[in-house]
Chains A and B, each alone.
Chain A
Amino acid sequence: MKKKHKGYAKYGYLFTLPFTIAFLIFMAYPTLYTALIGFTDLKGIGKTDFHILANPLENFIKILTSPTFHTAFKNTVVLWVSNFIPQLILALLLAAWFTDRRFKVPGEGVFKVLFYMPNIITAATVAILFNALFGYPMGPVNDLMTRFGILDAPYNFLIKKNIARGVVIFIQTWMWYGYTMIILISGVLGISPEIFEAAEVDGANGWQTFWQITIPNIKTILLFTLVTSLIGGLNMFDIPKLFLMGGPDNATLTTGVFIYNQAFSGSYMYNRAAAASMIMFVIICAVSGVMFYALRDKDEEKIHKTIRQQEKEYRKKMKEAQKK
């Protein structure tokens, strides 16, 4: 029996082999190569040969002390935080309304479909569409605002730094709250209905139920949403790149756009871009590490520990028995 078991083990390796090979070629090697380039003098279009710099950390120091990188990093964090908060509030509200047992929102199904729709449209299309919508002098937003008398004359919105940032924040919120809402709804539906019934019997109102039953019970999903959104946010590229090319005056420049511009425009500084990538990589790893620590299933871990303990004891007993 045991022999047969071993015979099948090789298929475990065999079936996971394609993944392993593709991972090594397309993920592991490029990661290490990027890290290496970060220590070299590799720059200039079409160049592939490089030498390690006299001071290998030069690129990292240059990036970490670059005011443009600081701006980009600050923008990235600001853009993410200020789109995540309204996104989460909106998604939580909608999830609470759409799962309320006491009344059903008419047309709920249609609303869900429409709220999620912006998420599947190509981000490149959305970015250029919004650029056109806020066009000056006669974009649709200006047209509506002058027609309804909100503005006397067309306004050039997108040369103002704060408005440009605000629109990027709006686009990100608009594209993602529907997604977050669906995830939170599935989380709320996963809570056992008995808990809600008990709360109802105890006379809890909607607000109390929301804060004391719903929120604590979807903590894991909230954390999952937070981390995936943060990692996505740290890589924000399509919208800021195509909406205003990082402008005006770097107001919507994110680290993703910064890295792209370093490597694929101007003097093609692959080394600086690689160093910046690695800095972002470390930040993302730290964030993921915190998530894994927070998300680890404590109960499961306990069970595994007990099983391992039991196996050990069992083996010990077997050994002793064999000795005898």
Chain B
Amino acid sequence: MKSNNHHYAAKTIIFIICVFLAILSLFPFVVMIVNSTRSTTQIQQHAVSLIPSSYFANNFKILVGKSFKPSVGFLNSMIISVCATTLATYFSTLTAYGLVVYDWKLKRAYFSFIMAIMMIPAQITMIGFYQMVYKIHMTNNLLMLILPAIASPSMVFFMRQYMVPALSLEIVQSARIDGAREFYIFNAIALPIMKPAIATQAIFSFVSSWNNLFTPLILLTDQKKYTLPIMISLLRGDIYKTEYGAVYLGLTLTALPLIVVYLALSKYIIAGVALGSVKG
């Protein structure tokens, strides 16, 4: 009985800690969303309120009246993230297929090489990358933010680990006997089998591309090409210094879609994080 009481106390403490952490996760975003509907004067009087006000439209007018163009940022970010994710998942699966299905001399070496370059962060090579892009006058070309996704070493690694048990070489062999070409076998047979892995990786590729600040910040100087994270960085500037309501609204416009999509897909996303960590 005593140990039962003890048990109950421990359980209560754990639950309270979890509730506290949950509030900590939510609080900043709640303040942000509520304040996006309040006027700057209201925010200055009391910066925390749980009751929405009616200044949303007014804040929006102030926000887009200056350099923050949410639709431009949204569109550019969407183009980059969708294209980069498509390229990354397709070519990573293709590369993994080349590593799993065929026997070639450099296969083992190539896989070791992919593991070795997995850890190289893009930031480190940015000066050379910037100079290269600048020289060919492509700094404001979104392609320079999309094409590098073709070589995504950690995704190739993940795809290979997933493919080894998932794709049986007998299926490939029997398709060959039926007269199918190699490229057709990849597209028609391997890709559908890899769908779960592709979906998981697509989510993370999309999110990291969507949230990327460093590379676009360096390459893009044309306001019409700005991505959402660069638009966000404008909120830090002097022109929005005293427009609290507008700043909160700008932040809300960038965070809310992510929160909604995340909550809708949370089951898959969390399963995906767990899957990515289990190294096969």
Contact = CB atoms under 8 A, between A and B. Distances in A.
Contacts of A27: 117, 120, 125, 148, 151
A247 interface: no
A135 B121 contact: no
B186 A124 contact: no
A23 B117 CA distance: 10
B200 interface: no
Contacts of A46: 134
A256 B131 contact: no
Nearest to B135: A48
Given A9-B102, A22-B151, 10 more contacts: A11-B102, A37-B128, A106-B15, A114-B26, A121-B29, A122-B213, A187-B277, A231-B121, A237-B123, A280-B124
Contacts of B218: 260, 264
27 contacts: A8-B102, A20-B151, A27-B148, A31-B120, A31-B124, A37-B127, A103-B11, A106-B15, A113-B270, A115-B22, A116-B270, A120-B211, A125-B255, A128-B232, A128-B251, A129-B29, A132-B247, A147-B46, A174-B25, A183-B273, A224-B277, A242-B213, A242-B233, A259-B126, A259-B127, A260-B218, A263-B127
Given A183-B277, A224-B279, A19 B151 contact: yes
Interface of B: 7, 11, 14-15, 18, 21-22, 24-26, 28-29, 31-32, 35, 43-48, 91-92, 94-95, 97-99, 101-107, 110, 115-117, 119-121, 123-132, 134-135, 147-148, 150-151, 153, 156, 182, 186, 207, 210-211, 213-214, 217-218, 228-229, 232-233, 235-236, 244, 247-248, 251, 254-255, 258-259, 262-263, 266, 269-270, 273-275, 277-279
Contacts of B132: 29-30, 33
A179 interface: yes
Contacts of B25: 114-115, 117-118, 174, 178
Contact of A284 (B94, B115, B119, B130): B119
B167 to A, nearest CB: 13
Contacts of A291: 119
A29 to B, nearest CB: 7
Nearest to A42: B131
Nearest to A244: B236
A110 B22 CA distance: 9
Given A37-B131, A128-B251, A114 B148 contact: no
Given A37-B131, A186-B278, A235-B123, A144 B117 contact: no
Given A111-B21, A131-B236, A284 B186 contact: no
Interface stretch (A81-89, A157-165, A209-217, A269-277): A269-277
A1 to B, nearest CB: 12
A18 B211 CA distance: 25
B211 A97 contact: no
A138 B274 CA distance: 41
Given A106-B15, A122-B258, A26 B147 contact: yes
A107 interface: yes
For B121, B156, B210, B247, the residue with the greatest tally of chain A CB atoms inside 10 Å of its CB is: B121
B211 A124 contact: yes
B203 to A, nearest CB: 9
A238 interface: yes
Nearest to A15: B98
Contact of A19 (B91, B121, B214, B266): B91
A34 interface: yes
A185 interface: yes
A120 B269 CA distance: 10
A149 interface: no
A293 interface: no
Nearest to B134: A48
Nearest 4 A-B pairs (CB), nearest first?
A15-B98, A33-B128, A12-B104, A34-B128
A18 B255 contact: no
A37 B126 CA distance: 11
Given A124-B211, A140-B48, A256-B123, A111 B22 contact: yes
A31 B125 contact: yes
Nearest to A46: B134
A263 B129 CA distance: 12
A292 B113 CA distance: 12
A314 interface: no
A290 to B, nearest CB: 11
A19 B259 CA distance: 33
B123 A23 contact: no
B78 to A, nearest CB: 14
A113 B266 contact: yes
Contacts of B103: 5, 8-9, 12
A130 interface: yes
Contact of B91 (A9, A22, A116, A231): A22
